[in-house]
C-alpha cells in the first residue's frame, strides 16, 4: 500500500539521520564527552547481580560521580557495560531493565559477569536504539498487509482515509456531573465510536480529566481491558496515576519517569514483588546463584573431572532458572489478566509482557507529539482507537529535516482530524488563562471557538493590572548575538530581569502584598537554548529575585509543554536588520509559550524583526488594541 511505503521510506531517512548524529556524538569521543552529552554513566559501581530470564545476568549499577549531569539512559534502551581499561575489547551489550535516580539495572547478553568487571573503571554507554526503529518498521509493514483484508483491516482503512468511521446511534447518554458540555460530548463520541474518536484539547481545557472519565465509561460499557499509551513516560505516568485514583486496576508496563511511591506500586515489578508466589521464586533464584558460584570455583581448573563437575552445576542452575521463568510467566499472565487498564509508551506497547495481547480500544494521549510510525504499534492491537491531543501545539521531535519536510512531521492526529471531522470533538472551555491572554491563540488556532471559564476569565495578579503586555525593544540597540548555532540577546535578558524585579517589588510592597507561601509562580521562557543559559546565569546574580528562587523557573518552550504558571515572561531573543527569525516561525511552538500564563503574560521582542511574519505583526496589533503595547524606552528611563 503506497501510504505505508511512503511512511517506511520517511522512517528509513529519519533512522539514518538519527544514527549519524549518534555516531557523531560517540565515535572517537572520550568517555567524559559522552557523559557530558548524556550518553554515558562513568564511573559506576556494581551494587548487585542476579540471574534473570533466558539465563542472562542482570546487574545493578550506581553512578558514583557527576550526579547532576542529565542523561538519556532510560528503561528499554540498548546499552553496553564497558571497562575503560580496554573499552574496545572489554564490553558486553544488554538492555536497561530499570532506571531510578542514580541506579539502573542492565540485563546483559551473557550468563555471567566477565572477569574484567572486578577491575574497576566501569561505565555504561547508551547504544543506538535500533529496537524502536525495528518495532516501528515492523508495525508499518503489518498495517500495510492488514489494509488488504476487508474486515480485519477496517480500522487501518479508516485511519488512512480509505473508509469512513461509523458511530453507534443508540448509546445511552452518560452523565458525568463534573464535566462541562464539550467534555461530556467528547465522552459520548468516544463511547459511540466503532473505529475512531478524536479529542482535540487546546491548552487548559481539561483533556486529561476528560480522557480519564471516558476510559472509566468505556470499561463500564464494554467490560473489556483498555490499552492507554502516550509518546513520553511523563504523559503515561500522569494518566496512570489519575486512572488509579479513580479506583481502576492499572498496570504500568515499563519504567516510570517520576519515581513516586504511588506510581511504583502500579508497575509490574512492584505487583510481582507482592504476589503470593514470589517467595518461592526468590528461594529458587538464590539456589541457582549458589550453583553458579560453586561452578565458578572450577573456572581455572581444567581437568576432565572438574569440567564435568562445573557443567553439572551450570546445568542445575539453568534447570532452576527455567522453573523460575515458568513461575514468573504465570505471575505476569495473572497480573496482566486482572488489569483493567494497561499503560505504556508507544513502543512500550510491544513489551514482552503484553506483546501478544489484543484490546478492544487503544487510547493514544498526546497524539499531537507522537511520531506516526510509533502510533501503529498500539493501533495494531486494537479494534478502535481514541486519539487525544492538540495538533496546534508542539509536534514530534524529528532529527531529519528532509523526513520532516516530506511528511513525517505531520501526525496521525492531524491527518485524521482533516480526513474525519465528524470524529472530532473540540474541548472549547479553558480553565487556565485570563481571556486577554487566551484570545489571540483562540483566534489564530481554534477558529475563535475557545472560551474562558468565568472563574479564570478576569483573574489578575492585583486589581487594575494588565494581564498581557508586549514590550517592544525596536530601536533600543538590543542586538542578538550568535553563539554556536543558537542566538542570544544579553541586553534583552538584562531588561527582562529589570522589569520582573519591578513587578516583584510591586507584589511584595504594593496594594496586595503576597507572602512567600502564596507568592505567584513565574516562568521565564525563550525558544533559544543559549538565551536560557544566559538567563539562568544572570538570575544567580540578582539577590531580590533569588529570595523567590523556588517560585521562578527558567527554561525552553518545549520543557513547559503541559505546564502553567501565574506569570510568564517570553524573551523572543531575535533582533537583526535582516528580519531573520529562524525557528520563531514555528508558530505552534509559540502557541505553547503564549498559553502557559494564568494571570500575566509579558512578551519582550523587537517588532521590526518580528513583524516580518504575519503571526507576530497581528499579535502586536492585538496588543495595541488592548492597550497592552509598550515601548522598552518607557522602562529604560525609569
Mean pLDDT of the chain: 91
pLDDT at 301: 56
> Cβ–Cβ contacts within 10 Å for residue 271, how many?
21
With a pLDDT cut of 70, the percent of the chain lying above it is 98
Mean pLDDT score, 55-67: 90
DSSP track, 348-407: GGG-TTTTT--EEEEEETTGGGS-HHHHHHHHTTEEEEEEEE-TTS-----S-HHHIIII
What is the per-residue pLDDT for 99?
87
pTM of the model: 0.91
Cβ atoms of 81 and 120 within 8 Å: the answer is: no
Q: What are the tens digits of pLDDT across the range 576-597?
A: 999 899 889 999 999 999 999 9
pLDDT at residue 285, as a whole number: 80
Tell me the CA distances in angstroms from 120 to 125, 445, 554, one per residue in order.
Answer: 15, 56, 39
- Residue 298's pLDDT is what? 65
pLDDT of residue 459: 95
Which of 391-395, 408-412, 557-561, 574-578 shows the lowest per-residue confidence on average (mean pLDDT)? Answer: 557-561
Query: What would the pLDDT profile of 599-610 be if each residue is shown by its tens digit?
Result: 999 999 999 999
Average pLDDT of the segment spanning 506-527: 87
Q: Residue 216: which of 180, 253, 179, 261 has the closest Cα?
A: 179
Q: Which of 150, 132, 49 is nearest to 92 (CA)?
A: 49
Can you name the residues that pair with 537 across neighbouring β-strands?
none
Cis-peptide, bond into residue 43, ω within 30° of zero = yes
Q: What does the radius of gyration of the chain's CA atoms come to, in whole angstroms?
A: 28
User: In the predicted model, is pLDDT for residue 638 greater than 90?
Assistant: no
Closest C-alpha to 201, from 418, 413, 444: 413
For 172-208, what is each residue's pLDDT tens digit?
Answer: 777 898 999 999 999 999 999 999 999 999 999 999 9
Report how far residue 105's alpha carbon sits from residue 93's, in angstroms, rounded to the nearest whole number: 13
Cα torsion 264, 268, 271, 277 to 10°: value is -150
Task: Identify whether the C-beta of residue 365 lies closer than 8 Å to the C-beta of residue 341.
Answer: no
Mean pLDDT within 314-324: 81
Report helix, strand or coil for 40: strand
Q: Distance from CA of residue 273 to its chain's centroid?
A: 27
Between 30-44, 254-268, 620-634, the lowest mean confidence (pLDDT) is in: 254-268
Could you report the per-residue pLDDT of 409-450, keeping only the tens digit for each?
999 999 999 999 999 999 999 999 999 999 999 999 999 999
Q: Please determine, for residue 380, whether its predicted confidence score (pLDDT) is greater than 90.
A: yes
Return the pLDDT at 70: 87
Res 527: pLDDT: 93
Contact 525, 547 (CB under 8 A): no
- Segment among 50-59, 452-461, 500-509 with least mean pLDDT: 50-59
Task: Compute the distance between CA of residue 146 and CA of residue 136 in angstroms, rounded to an integer.
Answer: 15
Render pLDDT for 16-54 as a digit per residue (tens, 0 to 9).
999 999 998 887 788 998 999 899 999 999 998 887 776
Closest CA to 503 of 556, 545, 471: 545
Amino acid at each position: 500500500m503506497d501510504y505505508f511505503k511512503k511512511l517506511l521510506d520517511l522512517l528509513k531517512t529519519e533512522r539514518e539521520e538519527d544514527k549519524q548524529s549518534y555516531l557523531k556524538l560517540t565515535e572517537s569521543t572520550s568517555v567524559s564527552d559522552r557523559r557530558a552529552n548524556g550518553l554515558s554513566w562513568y564511573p559506576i559501581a556494581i551494587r548487585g547481580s542476579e540471574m534473570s530470564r533466558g539465563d542472562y545476568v542482570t546487574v545493578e549499577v550506581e553512578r558514583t560521580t557527576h550526579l547532576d549531569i542529565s542523561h538519556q539512559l532510560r528503561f528499554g534502551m540498548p546499552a553496553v557495560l564497558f571497562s575503560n581499561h580496554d573499552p574496545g575489547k572489554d564490553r558486553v551489550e544488554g538492555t536497561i531493565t530499570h532506571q531510578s535516580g542514580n541506579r539502573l539495572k542492565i540485563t546483559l547478553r551473557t550468563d555471567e559477569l566477565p572477569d574484567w568487571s572486578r577491575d574497576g573503571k566501569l561505565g555504561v554507554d547508551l547504544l543506538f536504539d535500533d529496537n524502536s526503529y525495528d518495532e516501528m518498521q515492523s508495525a508499518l509493514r503489518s498495517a500495510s498487509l492488514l489494509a488488504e483484508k476487508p474486515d480485519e483491516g477496517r480500522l487501518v482503512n479508516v485511519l488512512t482515509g480509505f473508509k469512513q468511521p461509523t458511530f453507534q446511534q443508540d448509546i445511552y447518554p452518560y452523565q458525568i456531573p463534573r464535566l462541562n458540555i464539550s467534555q461530556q460530548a467528547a465522552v459520548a463520541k468516544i463511547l459511540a465510536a466503532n473505529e475512531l474518536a478524536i479529542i482535540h484539547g487546546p491548552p487548559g481545557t481539561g483533556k486529561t480529566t476528560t480522557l480519564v472519565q471516558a476510559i472509566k465509561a468505556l470499561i463500564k460499557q464494554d467490560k473489556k481491558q483498555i490499552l492507554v499509551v502516550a509518546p513520553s513516560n511523563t504523559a503515561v505516568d500522569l494518566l496512570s496515576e489519575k486512572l488509579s485514583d479513580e479506583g481502576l486496576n492499572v498496570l504500568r508496563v515499563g519504567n516510570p519517569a517520576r519515581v513516586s511511591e504511588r506510581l511504583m506500586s502500579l508497575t509490574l515489578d512492584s505487583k510481582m514483588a507482592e504476589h503470593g508466589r514470589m517467595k518461592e521464586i526468590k528461594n529458587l533464584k538464590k539456589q541457582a546463584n549458589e550453583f553458579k558460584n560453586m561452578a565458578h570455583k572450577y573456572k581455572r581448573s581444567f581437568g576432565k573431572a572438574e569440567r564435568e563437575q562445573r557443567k553439572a552445576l551450570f546445568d542445575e542452575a539453568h534447570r532452576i532458572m527455567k522453573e523460575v521463568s515458568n513461575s514468573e510467566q504465570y505471575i505476569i499472565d495473572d497480573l496482566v489478566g486482572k488489569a483493567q487498564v494497561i499503560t505504556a509508551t508507544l513502543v512500550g506497547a510491544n513489551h514482552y509482557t503484553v506483546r501478544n495481547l489484543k484490546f478492544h480500544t487503544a487510547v493514544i494521549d498526546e497524539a499531537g507529539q507522537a511520531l506516526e510510525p510509533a502510533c501503529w504499534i498500539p493501533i495494531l492491537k486494537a479494534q478502535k482507537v481514541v486519539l487525544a491531543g492538540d495538533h496546534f501545539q508542539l509536534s514530534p521531535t524529528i532529527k531529519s529535516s528532509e523526513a520532516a519536510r516530506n511528511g513525517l512531521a505531520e501526525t496521525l492526529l492531524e491527518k485524521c482530524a482533516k480526513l474525519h471531522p465528524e470524529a472530532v470533538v473540540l474541548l472549547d472551555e479553558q480553565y487556565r488563562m485570563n481571556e486577554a491572554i487566551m484570545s489571540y491563540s483562540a483566534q489564530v488556532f481554534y477558529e475563535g471557538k475557545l472560551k474562558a471559564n468565568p472563574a479564570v476569565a478576569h483573574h489578575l495578579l492585583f486589581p487594575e493590572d494588565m494581564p498581557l503586555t508586549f514590550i517592544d525593544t525596536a530601536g533600543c540597540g538590543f542586538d542578538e548575538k550568535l553563539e554556536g548555532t543558537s542566538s542570544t540577546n544579553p541586553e534583552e535578558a538584562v531588561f527582562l530581569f529589570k522589569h520582573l524585579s519591578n513587578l516583584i517589588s510591586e507584589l511584595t510592597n504594593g496594594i496586595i502584598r503576597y507572602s512567600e507561601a502564596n507568592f505567584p509562580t513565574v516562568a521565564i521562557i525563550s525558544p533559544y537554548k543559549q538565551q536560557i543559559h544566559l538567563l539562568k546565569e544572570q538570575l544567580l546574580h540578582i539577590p531580590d529575585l533569588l529570595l523567590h528562587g523556588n517560585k521562578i523557573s527558567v527554561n525552553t518552550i518545549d520543557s513547559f509543554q503541559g505546564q502553567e504558571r501565574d506569570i510568564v515572561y517570553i524573551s523572543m531573543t531575535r533582533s537583526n536588520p535582516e528580519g531573520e527569525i529562524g525557528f520563531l516561525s514555528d508558530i505552534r511552538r509559540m502557541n505553547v509559550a503564549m498559553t502557559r500564563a494564568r494571570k500575566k503574560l509579558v512578551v519582550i521582542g523587537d517588532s521590526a524583526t518580528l513583524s516580518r511574519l504575519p503571526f507576530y505583526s497581528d499579535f502586536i496589533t492585538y496588543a495595541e488594541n488592548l492597550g497592552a503595547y509598550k515601548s522598552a524606552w518607557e522602562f529604560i528611563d525609569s
